[in-house]
Amino acid sequence: MEALTAEQSIAAITSGQTSSEELVEEALRRSEDDPWGAFLALDGERARRRAKEIDAAAERPPLAGVPIAIKDVLSTRDLETTAGSQILKGFRPLYTATCIKRLERAGAVVVGKTNMDEFAMGSSTENSSYQLTLNPWDMETVPGGSSGGSAATVAARQVPWSLGSDTGGSIRQPASLCGVVGMKPTYGAVSRYGLIAFASSLDQVGPLARTVRDSALLLSHIVGQDPRDSTSLDWWKPIEVPDTERLDGVKIGVISEMLENGIESGVKSATEAATATAAELGAEITEVSLPSSRHGIAAYYLIAPAEASANLARFDGMRYGARAAADDLLEHYERTRGEGFGPEVKRRIMLGTFALASGYYEAYYARAQRVRTLIVRDFGEAFEKVDLLLSPTSPTTAFKIGERVDDPYAMYMSDICTIPMSLAGLPAISIPCGVADGLPVGLQLTGPAFSENGLFSVAHALEQAIDFDALPETLS
């Protein structure tokens, strides 16, 4: 069976050409045969049952029973949720994340949970404590991270779309490396209830899909205020992605700092070609500087670990998850956390705890927050001149498995183009814009807060003009 996009799947079900049961069965078949290691768990029995219910309903829900995969950082009642960590092995939540509930009410069928970097800490999915996930474009390379499983399963055509989470680039960077579309919404647009927290002022749930229209459709069903999440906002208006072919009147700023040293030549060439395409479509192109963005990596790797050190304190083996045998309470904590957490999680907990310690708070954490304010200010000044910003999503294409595992700095630099947007809480989307040395390149578009509709509109026009329809070599 041909792998349909989500939009095509809904149309096929609605017209009677196929059924939810058939599409779910096909998705399960493709996902059980999983040479890429995208899935940590499948939920075939429940998925089949739900598809059958949707097909038998008198009135079809808007998503019509289309299958979807969920990053394993989102809680699913009675289905193991591990966040890629041994410390949560066997944990079955008592509730389901709000965003998943909303999708299920709209008629999406969850087929399983995808692999990820442990507690969303990583840029390659090599930090999963369970398995490696391989990039469908080249199985010797990483899929990116931390939502590597969610990106890989869409690239491999196992499911038409998936949910990921983005703290410093964890949707956009794997979308770029796997040649799919990934959107990080405005902070507060999507409820974080049921999302296992990494850095609470940065985490945001968002869609990965094969097309911009699918991404917009998925986002439209998860946004909105949630009384269980005090940071969620009631701001949304219906998403519309017009079939426009022109960008006349749109002012696009190319971020100069994100085309400097460290950007691979193939990535730079593809970005410049996409910029030229935008100009051909009528967009007004100008160069924009975000001077404080150069300090984004340093600020992020103080703020995010500090928040992680507080959030992960709850994982002590007392209430849920793995529990080590010990003779006293202190030994219990030490052994449970020592055995349950992987090296990267321990590194960030120690870094964050140090940054928050008495005598160091002002020198590190508080200073990083001041840098964050400067980055927000830079974006505000830029959006007084342009409608949106353009840059590469990742400075490189997919790198070899194992290439950066012993070099945390090189790994952290994978997110140099995505972290400033996360620190500012802004929406950003990555779309495929070309291929360099046989691997996909992602183009990132960033807009002011709550400008998702505008981003989708411009991204859709560029997507049609670029016409990126290449398949991973493993599928061609």
Residue positions annotated with a catalytic role: 71, 146, 170
CB-neighbour burial class of residue 94 (10 A; exposed 0-12, middle 13-18, buried 19+): exposed
74 neighbors 205 (Cβ within 8 angstroms):
yes
List of E strands, 195-317:
204-209, 251-255, 284-288
The residues pairing with 74 across neighbouring beta strands, listed in sequence order, are: 195
Give the closest residue to 424 by CA, choosing from 466, 381, 366, 377.
377
Closest CA to 194 of 288, 104, 309, 63: 104
d(CA 265, CA 395) in angstroms, rounded, equals 9
Tell me which DSSP letter residue 162 carries.
E
Q: Give the strand pairing for 428-436 and 204-209.
A: unpaired
Total Cβ atoms within 10 A of residue 2 = 7
Which residue intervals of 245-328 are DSSP H helices? 265-280, 296-311
Whole-angstrom CA distances from 132 to 54, 338, 401 are 34, 22, 9
**In terms of Cα–Cα distance, which of 189, 208, 226 is closest to 116?**
208
Q: Find the length of the chain.
A: 476
- Cross-strand pairs, 288: 255
Give the C-alpha separation, 152 to 139, whole Å.
11
Cβ proximity of 94 and 77 under 8 Å: yes
With tokens 């500012």, the residue in question is 424
Three-state secondary-structure class, residue 436: strand
* The 388-392 sheet, strands edge to edge: 39-42, 109-114, 67-71, 161-166, 204-209, 181-184, 428-436, 439-446, 388-392, 251-255, 284-288
Query: Which residues lie closer than 8 Å to 46 by C-beta, 6 or more apart?
Result: 79, 110
CA angle 227, 228, 233 (to 5 degrees): 55
